[in-house]
Amino acid sequence: MQVYADNAATTKMSGLAIEAMIPYFDKIYANPSSLHTAGQEAKEVLDAARETVAKCLGCQAREIYFTSGGSEADNQAILSAARYGARKGKKHIISTAFEHHAVLHTLQKLEKEGFEVTLLDVSQGHNVTAQQVKDAIREDTCLVTTMYANNEIGSVLPIAEIGAVCKEAGVPFHTDAVQAAGHLHIDVQAQNIDMLSLSGHKFHGPKGVGALYVRRGLPLVNLIEGGAQERGKRAGTENIPGIVGLAAALEDACTHMAENTAKVTALRDKLIAGLSQIPHSALNGDSVNRLPGNVSFCFEGIEGESLLLLLDAKGVCASSGSACTSGSLDPSHVLLAIGRVHDVAHGSLRLSLCHYNTEEEVDHILQVVPEVVQLLRNMSPVWRDLQTGKREYIL
Ligand SMILES: *Cc1c(COP(=O)(O)O)cnc(C)c1O
């Protein structure tokens, strides 16, 4: 049995999104900036897609800018707020310790330019509170940027409360909603969100296309200079098939959100209940405010990489928090930020589900994960030390 349980990394495209894209490769392929009829036809399609995305977020079409993905949207939002803040002498930014690298690395770049960054602690309940944001806001704060939902451990942040705090203080609020868009109900007006990033490939749309919502009136700086596309804020001939696919996938996800959430949450909860039976294990992330598809565990006495390889051999595609691909043996910054010590953080497993997953697949995972964890523990010198009392259990 083959089970794809890595939907937080990327998703399979929906048939609907693929179908929607096809005409824009070989039939309606003109440049939307061209004045001829074919070009204007492409322009209309672009406008319609922008309208669709805006409707899903509760904003106006002119507040949507298409980008090459979530990373670009995060970079542009943060750098824009920073440049604007600096002009007014405000160089303090608030974020959280468990953001995606698209946010954290952009903030590190700004720190080198003299910005001061406060990363809020996420060890209490594996989440942040609006009160933490409120307490961190200063006279010179030019931006609050917190993710909507965490990609590794599934915690869903109190976005409406954070938005209210930011509005009251008059500080712009950006949220990296790449894991939330198409999965959770978003209303940028009601939630007081000033800027929001999303990415097509996290909700069954195409890769390499995303969107940035920016509240009207907020300044935006360009990352890419050139033509006047995207109202002069993002140069380059528009990726019409990608934009159409993103809009179709987002609309589909928002239309079927209630039923998808019910199905995926049930699968998630069955997995969490089953895996919790493994001794010396711990669930990562907020147990209540949690993405419907996220299951994240640490298992003491094993290495996440070995676990992934053995699961792969048994047909299960999963992910671990460890950054071994980058050649470093550092465990995930997210797991460290929630307070997992290095040894425990190394034994992590993330299973991320979507509505294409089935109960049979969950049963398969529940059969193989405990077997593989036991197999690895039997070979582990650390586990032997724990069992003989030479070392103390942490979990
Ligand atoms: C995937 C992801 C991104 C990056 O999006 P891309 O479209 O792959 O650039 C950013 N933030 C979060 C939370 C993500 O999960």
CA distance 6 to 144: 29
Q: How many helices (H) and strands (E) does the chain have?
A: 14, 12
Nearest atom in ligand 1 to 150's CA: 13
* Residue minimizing CA distance to atom 12 of ligand 1: 178
CA of 144 to the centre of ligand 1 (A): 18
281-311 burial: b if 16+ Cβ within 10 Å, else e: bbbbbbeeebbbbbbbbbbbbbbbebbbebb
Q: What is the percent of the chain with per-residue pLDDT over 90, rounded to a whole number?
A: 97
The response to whether residue 321 sits with its C-beta less than 6 Å from ligand 1 reads no
Return the CATH number of the domain spanning residue range 15-255.
3.40.640.10
pLDDT, residue 218, reads: 97
* Ranges of the chain with pLDDT below 50: 326
Per the annotation, the verdict on 317 as an active-site residue is no
* 157 token code pair: 């942040």
Nearest atom in ligand 1 to 73's CA: 9
Q: Please pick, among 56, 298, 317, 324, the residue that the annotation labels catalytic.
A: 324
DSSP-assigned letter for residue 330? P
CA distance 395 to 121: 21
Tokens 């294409």 label which residue?
356
CA of 176 to the centre of ligand 1 (A): 8
Is the separation of the CB atoms in 226 and 235 below 8 Å? Answer: yes
Residue type, 12: K
Is the separation of the CB atoms in 281 and 377 below 8 Å? Answer: no
Domain ranges (residues) in the chain? 3-10+257-388, 15-255
Is the separation of the CB atoms in 354 and 9 below 8 Å? Answer: no
* 93 token code pair: 């930014």
Mutate to test the pocket of ligand 1, among 179, 207, 243 (most ligand atoms within 8 A of CB): 179
The response to whether residue 251 sits with its C-beta less than 6 Å from ligand 1 reads no
pLDDT, residue 38, reads: 96
Q: Which residues touch 377 (CB under 8 Å, ≥6 apart)?
A: 301, 302, 383
CA of 6 to the centre of ligand 1 (A): 14
pLDDT, residue 330, reads: 79
CA of 105 to the centre of ligand 1 (A): 13
pLDDT, residue 291, reads: 98
CA distance 54 to 64: 7
Quick one: CATH architecture of 3-10+257-388?
Alpha-Beta Complex (3.90)
The response to whether residue 155 sits with its C-beta less than 6 Å from ligand 1 reads no
Please report which helix (H) or strand (E) contains residue 15, including its range.
helix 15-21
Reported pTM: 0.97
Q: Which strands form 294-299's sheet, in the order they lie side by side? A: 281-283, 294-299, 348-352
**Cα dihedral 71, 289, 347, 7 in deg (nearest 10):** -50
Q: Which residues touch 85 (CB under 8 Å, ≥6 apart)?
A: 91, 92, 93, 140, 142, 143
Give tens-digit pLDDT for 364-376. Answer: 999 999 999 999 9
What are the start-end ranges of the E strands in 185-331? 195-199, 210-214, 281-283, 294-299, 316-317
Coil, helix or strand at residue 377: helix
* Residue minimizing CA distance to atom 3 of ligand 1: 70
Give the 3-state secondary structure percentages of the chain, helix then strand then coil, rounded to 5: 45, 15, 40
Nearest atom in ligand 1 to 99's CA: 13
pLDDT, residue 328, reads: 57
